[in-house]
């Protein structure tokens, strides 16, 4: 049976952060119970159609749902999940996580992603986060206490008031906690967020300063033992996110919950951003067919490994020709110091990642 990644969206938050455009609502026990039942029901529609070797509870804030409900979902999904599955849950530091980690660990969770964003408490306040750096240290301690040692921390780059000094502070904070994985994302102010409504008053770095901060962070992370494997992701050896690699490798995944997307049976589909519609049992909406060369190349070029000729030939009837066309277009970017391009592989370096959207369009269209 095919192996896929299983994503379960938990659309509950205590309070929405100013920069967040992910779908979330405030939920009470009745709504969260109904939602849990709806997730279990939606999973049942996939009976005998796949097994999952990665499971990811994202949000929103999955820890708000509580360990008991997470456990109910995992128990309902156990026939789908392989014994060696990577099972990740996102948590918000500062929540009461002792019981949550105890229940989740017992239910099979073996990886946690913690939303640090910054180890500088002034930056956290400007980001409207509701935790302190000390809360993150405690969350890491509690995860390990309950046997969850595979820990990822999120950082945000190019935020208001951030400097190379505070970036160093945050990266060193992560490294000193001895976590295995760090995701470092550049702040982007999206429409329909609180920050967007007051963007004129938010003093974030300009494009040049943002680029400098990104390159500085990449170098600092490397110096502390975290190898970059994707535009925004860094890990110690053997600790890359197996679930997220499925997305970037164009492998199949199934998403459950409002706003969750899937790529399954060569089709892309999604649930609308409406928890009540999901609870009522509304079916996901067809988006498009998936799996073509352009999509594959665009996703693979997010990875430091890039696109290989061997894989292109294996996956696509015209893969040799398509790779050759990309290679010809990539040569000028190699000369500009933005990528590696030879007869076997095309891959961006960290400078190329900063211009990746523009370069990818030139390479594949």
- List, for residues 150-182, the tens digit of each pLDDT value: 999 999 999 999 999 999 999 999 999 999 999
Residue 77 to residue 80: CA distance in whole angstroms: 5
Tell me phi and psi for residue 254, to 5 degrees: -120, 125
The domain spanning residue 353 has which CATH number?
1.10.10.920
Mark which of 247, 272, 304 sits at the end of a domain.
Answer: 247
Domain boundary among 247, 279, 308: 247
% of residues, the chain, pLDDT over 90: 92
Phi, psi of 198 (to 5 degrees): -125, 30
300 and 184 share one domain: no
* Residues 162, 241 within the same domain: yes
Contacts of 365 (CB under 8 A, 6+ apart): 294
Residue 253 lies in a domain: no
Judging by beta carbons within 10 Å of its beta carbon (0-12, 13-18, 19+), is residue 1 exposed, middle or buried? exposed
C-alpha distances out from residue 7 to 16, 270, 336, Å: 21, 12, 39
According to DSSP, residue 302 is labeled T
**In Å, what is the CA distance from 260 to each residue of 24, 45, 92, 192, 360?**
12, 16, 20, 18, 25
280 part of a folded domain:
no
95 — pLDDT class (breaks 50, 70, 90) = confident
pLDDT number for residue 192: 87
Long-range CB pairs of 206-214, under 8 A, 24+ apart, other chains included: 209/158, 210/157, 210/158, 210/186, 211/354, 213/157, 213/158, 213/162, 213/164, 213/167, 213/186, 214/157, 214/158, 214/184, 214/186, 214/350, 214/353, 214/354
Asked if residue 95 and residue 7 are part of one domain, the reply reads: yes
Residue 32 has pLDDT above 90, yes or no: yes
Give yes or no: residues 211 and 134 share one domain: yes
Per-residue pLDDT band for 1 (boundaries 50, 70, 90) equals confident
- pLDDT score at 198: 86
pLDDT-based confidence at residue 362 (cuts at 50, 70, 90) = very high
Give yes or no for a contact between 186 and 154, defined as CB atoms under 8 angstroms apart. no
Q: Are 235 and 362 members of one domain?
A: no
Same domain, 348 and 205: no
- Give me the phi and psi of 226, to 5 degrees please: -105, 115
pLDDT at 138: 97
Shared domain check, 216 and 110: yes
196 vs 54, higher pLDDT: 54
For position 136, which CATH number holds? 3.20.20.70
Range of the domain at 343: 293-365
- Indicate if 230 and 311 belong to the same structural domain: no
Residue 52, domain member (yes or no): yes
What is the number of structural domains in the chain? 2
Q: For residue 365, is pLDDT > 90?
A: no
* Domain match, 235 and 301 both: no
Mind listing the pLDDT tens digit for each residue in 280-326? 999 999 999 999 999 999 999 999 999 999 999 999 999 999 999 99
105 and 229 co-located in one domain: yes
Please state, rounded to an integer, the average pLDDT across all residues of the chain. Answer: 96
Please state, in angstroms and as integers, the Cα–Cα distance from residue 68 to each residue in 13, 73, 143, 295, following that order.
Answer: 17, 9, 16, 38
89 forms bridges with which residues in the sheet?
Answer: 57, 112
Residues 23 and 83 in one domain: yes
Q: Which residues contact 64 (CB under 8 A, 6 or more apart)?
A: 10, 12, 13, 14, 27, 32, 92, 95
Identify the band that residue 15 occupies on the pLDDT scale cut at 50, 70 and 90: confident
Indicate if 243 and 300 belong to the same structural domain: no
Q: Is residue 189 part of a domain?
A: yes
* 38 pLDDT more than 90: yes
Q: What CA–CA distance (Å, rounded) separates 102 from 119? A: 25
Cβ distance 126 to 115 under 8 Å? no
């Amino acid at each position: 049976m095919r192996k896929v990644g299983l994503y379960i969206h938990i659309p509950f938050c205590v309070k929405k952060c100013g920069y967040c455009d992910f779908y979330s609502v405030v939920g009470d026990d009745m709504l969260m119970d109904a939602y849990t039942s709806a997730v279990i029901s939606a999973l049942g529609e996939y009976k005998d159609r796949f097994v999952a070797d990665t499971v990811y509870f994202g949000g929103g804030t999955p820890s708000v749902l509580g360990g008991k409900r997470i456990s109910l979902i995992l128990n309902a999904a156990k026939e789908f999940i392989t014994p060696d599955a990577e099972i990740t849950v996102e948590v918000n530091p500062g929540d009461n996580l002792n019981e949550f980690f105890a229940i989740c660990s017992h239910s099979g969770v073996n990886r946690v992603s913690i939303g640090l964003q910054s180890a500088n408490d002034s930056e956290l306040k400007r980001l409207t986060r509701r935790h302190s750096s000390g809360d993150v240290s405690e969350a890491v301690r509690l995860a390990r206490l309950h046997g969850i040692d595979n820990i990822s921390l999120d950082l945000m780059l190019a935020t208001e008031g951030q400097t190379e000094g505070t970036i160093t502070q945050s990266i060193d904070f992560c490294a000193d906690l001895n976590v295995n994985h760090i995701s470092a994302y550049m702040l982007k102010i999206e429409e329909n967020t609180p920050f967007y409504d007051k963007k004129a008053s938010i003093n974030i770095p300009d494009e040049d300063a943002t680029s400098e901060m990104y390159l500085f962070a990449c170098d600092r992370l490397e110096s502390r033992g975290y190898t970059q494997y994707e535009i925004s992701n860094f890990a110690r050896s053997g600790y890359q996110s197996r679930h997220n690699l499925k997305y970037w490798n164009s492998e199949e995944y199934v998403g459950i919950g409002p706003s969750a997307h899937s790529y399954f049976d060569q089709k892309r589909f999604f649930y609308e951003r409406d928890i009540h519609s999901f609870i009522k049992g509304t079916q996901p909406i067809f988006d498009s067919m998936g799996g073509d060369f352009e999509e594959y190349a665009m996703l693979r070029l997010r990875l430091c490994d890039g696109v290989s000729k061997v894989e292109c030939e294996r996956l696509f009837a015209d893969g040799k020709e398509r790779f050759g066309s990309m290679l010809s277009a990539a040569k000028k970017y190699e000369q500009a110091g933005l990528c590696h391009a030879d007869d076997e592989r095309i891959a961006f370096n960290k400078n190329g990642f900063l211009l990746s959207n523009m370069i990818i369009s030139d390479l594949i269209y």
